[in-house]
Amino acid sequence: MNSKVQELKEFLGRAGRAALVEVAATKGSTPREAGAFMLVSASAIFGTIGGGQLEYMAIDKARQMLRPLSPHKGKDKEARIEVGEVCATLDVPLGPEIGQCCGGRVELLIRLVDQPIEQELIANAESEEAHLPHVYLFGGGHVGQALAASLALLPIHVIVVETRADALEGMPEKVETRLTPMPEAVLREAPAGSAFAILTHDHALDFLIVAEALKRDDAAYVGMIGSKTKKATFRNWFLKSAEGSQAQFGRLVSPIGGNAVKDKRPQVIAALAAAEIMTALVSHAVRPTASATPEKAMAG
């Protein structure tokens, strides 16, 4: 499984010399938040600070700083920086002057990457990766494959769980795969705040996994692929035979991706479901805990 940490290390290893461009401060409407960053080498970039002219200006400035030291250090009038400078700032109004209409203002800090900065970047990336929300896809069929591909683009940890080895073939590099005869056991071990999308090849297996997921009150999302009839059948079984409650059943999202768009192609279902899952994860992450005071909840 490939990861952002691995990609970062590979970029730094290939780059030779690189500059770190970081959003130091923002005011008003801006493309990215403070703390967003990108790395710039002589021929490549890693990450983004929002695109557009702001990013082009930052890349140009960073590459001027990456130029080899001149024997006669002096002012580069066009760039307005000293050749060989290791740190610079840009204070950019996002208005008509640069062809952007956000209306805000961004302060960028640009630094040449040295060993301490490189180590800090890797440590931060490892910490971020360790705390990514987990999304479990149960089923690697047509929709499972498409949904895995959509979710692999997002800042989450995706795990596809299957009972069939061939259904796990061709998954994106960033997706973890689990082959197991007991998928419900994987669900029980998932960390709090995880999302569960159930779309196996077997309705009975779907029901078993969904029942387990709904009994976890710490789940951010529980979704099942299917129709109104399948959902009604599951409800009847869940309440009568699985010792489930109506409150637990009320947390089930089915069909996944909603029914506003009448298109059953796997890629369309996957796009809608990915947006639905990401929305649920963000909402769950900012939800105040039961023990939080009103003041603390508002501050968060």
pTM for this predicted structure? 0.82
Q: Which of these, 275, 237, 243, lies nearest to 256 by C-alpha position?
A: 275
Q: If DSSP states are collapsed to H, E and C, what string results for 94-147?
A: CCHHHCCCCCCEEEEEEEECCHHHHHHHHHHHHHHHHCCCEEEEECCCHHHHHH
| Residue owning tokens 């494959």 | 145
Q: What is the pLDDT of residues 54-87, one digit of tens each?
A: 999 999 999 999 987 555 544 444 444 444 578 9
Share of the chain above pLDDT 70, in %: 88
Mean pLDDT over residues 232-237, rounded? 97
204 pLDDT band (50/70/90 cuts)?
very high
147 pLDDT band (50/70/90 cuts)?
very high
Q: 189: buried, middle or exposed (CB in 10 Å: 19+, 13-18, 0-12)?
A: exposed
Q: What is the pLDDT of residues 94-126, one digit of tens each?
A: 877 776 666 789 999 999 999 999 999 999 999
Q: What is the pLDDT of residues 21-31, one digit of tens each?
A: 999 999 998 88
Q: In sequence order, what DSSP letters do the residues of 19-61 get, joined into one string?
A: EEEEEEEEESS-SS-TT-EEEE-SS-EEE-S--HHHHHHHHHH
Q: Quick one: 132-286 is in which CATH superfamily?
A: NAD(P)-binding Rossmann-like Domain (3.40.50.720)
- Pair 192, 212: CB distance under 8 Å: no
286 pLDDT band (50/70/90 cuts)?
confident
Q: What is the pLDDT of residues 34-52, one digit of tens each?
A: 999 999 999 999 999 988 8
pLDDT, residue 4, reads 87
Mean pLDDT over residues 142-171, rounded? 96
The kind and range of the H/E element at 253 are strand 252-253
Mean pLDDT over residues 191-206, rounded? 96
Q: Residue 280 pLDDT more than 70?
A: yes
Domain ranges of the chain: 4-128, 132-286
